[in-house]
Structures are given as structure tokens and as C-alpha cells.
Amino acid sequence: MIPLLVLGAIILVAAGVPGLWVRRVMGRYRTPGDRYRMTGAELARDLLRRLELPHVEVEQTTQGDHYDPLRRRIGLSRENYEGRSLTAVTVAAHEVGHAVQDAIGYRPLHWRTRMVRWATAGQRVGAGLLLGLPLILAVSRSPALLLPAAALGVAGLATGVLVHLVTLPTEFDASFRRAMPLLEAGYLHPEDRPHARRILQAAALTYVAAAAMSLLNVWLWLRLLRP
């Protein structure tokens, strides 16, 4: 019992600390709000023009900052789309980094895109199986069916953890091999370079928090299903 509780506490901390740090870093460099002459959206479009990627569009979104390789679009939150802060321009450059990966055929990005499709389906099926365990028992009247159904359900949820972990190398590549050199090519104030690196690191580590949250969800279900 105690080792399981300790494990749960470790997972809970691992899920919360990276997320808090990411929000702190992003928030810290949102001021001053007029640090740069270009907004995040303007910088992204300027980079795409220079990189000869005119087919990639930039739009404001409520779904978080991301690059959609299927639609060839960069989505920026309102504060990063309209903002002129260091956070806004750095996050915009990070998403342009993903567009560059897509354009050059960076395989880990394409692997992640394919994995997200089946992982999303797997998580939905897994959640459905776990939530439907009482119904499965009522209909089948066979407790023996509960164990394989529960195992499949937990495995479905666990696909989310795998996707987030596979995503990490792609995020660090977009941050430090793509975005940082672009920003250093005349876009950043020299004194902002170390701060931009922190923001890019935070952008990549967002998926560490997401992976930890997925792992916590799996652990909670395992605890709930434990005899």
C-alpha cells in the first residue's frame, strides 16, 4: 500500500510541477507587452515568407498554440497571435519550427501525426470500456469478462502516455534546431536570447506535463480496479 501511495505522490508531483513551471515562464515574459515591433502572427508570417513556405497559414485559435500538419496551418492563442511580447514571438517561432519539420519531411513529426490518430481512438475506446464495465457485467453476467475489458481499457488510456513521450524529441528539435536559429537571425534583442531559450524549453516541456497527467490517469484507474 505505501509504495503505491508513494508512486502516486511522485506521479502527481511530476504532473503538476512541469505544468506550473511552463505557465510561470510563459507568463513572466508576456510583459512588457510591446517588447517587439511585430506580433507573434506577423513574425510567423515573415518567417514563413523567408523560408518560402507561403502555403502555410497562420490563424488565431482557442485550441492552444500548435501546428497542424494535415491542414498546413499554425494556430496561435490570442495572446500570442496579437501580442508583441517575447513569449508571443518565441512561441510563434517554435510553431514555425514545426512547419519547417513538415516541409523537409522530418520523420518523427510524421510518426507523431500518425500516432496521434490511433492514440486518440485508443483513448476513447479505453475510456469507454472502463466506464462501461458495470454495463458489461450486467449484460454478460460474467465477471470473467471484466479483467480483459479492464486491461484493454487501461491499455487504451496508456497510448496517450506513449504519444506524449514520443513527441518530446520533435518538440526539442522544433525549439532548438529550428526556432532558435531563426530568432537569432535578426529577430531577437541580444539580451533576450537566454530568456527565449527558457521559453522554448518550456514549450517543449509542455508535453512532459501532459505525459505525467496521462500517466496519473492510468495509475488512478489501476488503483480503482485493484482488488
**Helix 2-28 / helix 193-225 crossing angle, nearest 10 deg:** 150
Q: Is 79 a catalytic residue?
A: no
Q: Which residues contact 178 (CB under 8 A, 6 or more apart)?
A: 96, 97, 98, 100, 101
Calpha distance 40→199 (Å, rounded) = 14
Active-site hit among 57, 59, 79, 95: 95
Q: In what order do the strands lie in the sheet with 57-60?
A: 57-60, 73-76, 66-68
Question: Please, which contacts does 63-72 make with residues 24 or more away whose CB atoms are closer than 8 Å?
Answer: 65/91, 65/94, 65/95, 65/203, 66/95, 67/95, 67/98, 67/99, 67/102, 69/98, 69/102, 69/109, 69/110, 69/113, 70/113, 72/99, 72/102
The residues that are catalytic are: 95
